[in-house]
């Protein structure tokens, strides 16, 4: 009887841990973003590593060999999030504003070159591993 109850308790704790991880923004995310029209619809791939503390988000964006940008001004409220990355390019710095929702093991949203823009490039990210 005690072993049966213990087994159920362990299973419940494992399930709660999995649900908490699936519902948070914490973790590594593989991003597929819609490319510019000039790229003929090809997707751009990148990775976000995110960690939340309270409603604040910190992390890092990597894309290819040349992009490595810190996540700045990150905020999560419920399942909605926003943050900023500053990408340094040969043509100068480029600020990207991100906003979206956490939907289980997916992030869905838009990237924009202007703060508060209602339009932007759509992206989807899937939790890695």
pLDDT per residue as tens digits for the range 62-108: 987 778 899 999 999 999 999 999 988 788 889 999 999 999 999 99
Domain count across the chain = 1
Cα–Cα distance measured from residue 120 to residue 109, given in angstroms and rounded to the nearest whole number = 9
Provide the pLDDT confidence category of residue 20 given band limits of 50, 70 and 90.
very low
**Helix extents (H) in 1-129:** 2-22
Residue 62: helix, strand or coil by DSSP?
A: strand
* 22: number of Cβ within 10 Å: 14
pTM over 0.85: no
Q: Identify which has the larger pLDDT, 13 or 63.
A: 63
Domain extent at residue 25: 2-127
Q: Identify which has the larger pLDDT, 48 or 3.
A: 48
| CATH number, domain with residue 97 | 2.40.128.120
Cα–Cα distance measured from residue 108 to residue 98, given in angstroms and rounded to the nearest whole number = 10
Q: Identify which has the larger pLDDT, 112 or 32.
A: 112
Quick one: which of 51, 14, 9, 13 has its CA closest to 29? 51
């Amino acid at each position: 009887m005690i072993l049966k109850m213990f087994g159920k308790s362990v299973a419940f704790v494992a399930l709660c841990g999995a649900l908490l991880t699936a519902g948070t923004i914490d973790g590594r995310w593989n991003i597929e973003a819609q490319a510019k029209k000039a790229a003929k619809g090809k997707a751009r791939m990148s990775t976000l590593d995110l960690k939340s503390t309270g409603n604040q988000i910190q992390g890092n964006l990597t894309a290819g060999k040349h992009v490595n940008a810190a996540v700045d001004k990150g905020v999560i409220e419920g399942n909605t999030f926003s943050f900023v990355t500053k990408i340094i390019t040969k043509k100068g710095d480029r600020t990207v504003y991100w906003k979206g929702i956490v939907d289980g093991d997916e992030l869905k949203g838009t990237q924009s070159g202007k703060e508060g823009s209602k339009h932007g490039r759509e992206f989807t990210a899937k939790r890695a591993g």
